[in-house]
Structure 1
Amino acid sequence: MNHGIILRVLAVGVCVAIGHTLQCYKCDIGFGDMCLTSEITCPSGEVCYSGNGKAVGLLDIKMKGCLATAKCNMTHDVNFPSSSNTTVYTMTKTCCDTNLCNSAPSLSSLSRMTPLAIATFTTVLMVKVLV
């Protein structure tokens, strides 16, 4: 067998492996079960994460995106202002390393939230019109 062909195939394989990037869902912030997502490509050395937390100790919040592996599976308090001891929310970020593994919410979750969102929007609009 020709060693030149084997070396070329190996070189192509290494280039593909080095250039491999991970696709993840991204959601900057979501509340309850609602987290509107888009797909992103992570930079090299990052994996997908799903973050779950509590804002002001009672409101469920969610985040999704890419994260450096060293920051995975940790819980962080986010303070405001950042130099204070006032915790705005606590977030635990759990990581995974396959394409789109930090799954987006199912359509059934979104379809349950749609009537609530429409009702809220309509109420706000009616209050503005009547006042």
Structure 2
Amino acid sequence: MSGVALVILILGFISNVSGALECYFCSGINGCQTGFEDNKTECRTQTSPRCYVARTEVNGHVTNFSRGCYEATQCNFICQWASPGDVTTTMCQECCNTNLCNTGSARGAGTFMTPIIHLLVGGTVMALAMSTATSK
């Protein structure tokens, strides 16, 4: 084997071993929920990179959507919601650690948990109101 071929073989092996995580990368509503497959990036700046997909909904309507790279410590695998007044905002995030794995919709627990939380909170308030009314 020639010296040049050996160097090329060794460099190819090294680049595969230390290769960066590849993730889909996009932001916004159009072209990020679907049709994102042509937008890819390599996560080279993170120490422990993860691919992510995140979505934000206000009153059940998607207002933001993004895919890209996060540091592992930024990945929470959760949904958070807030209901100030008549506005319900839900933010969900999913992370993964294999190439091009961030294809999901980041609906996560928010789809199911938000109604359950409202039911539990509403049930607790109603139970407290009933116990107060019956104790008078």
Q: TM-score w.r.t. structure 2 length? A: 0.46
TM-score norm. by structure 1 comes to 0.48
Bigger-Rg structure (1/2): 2
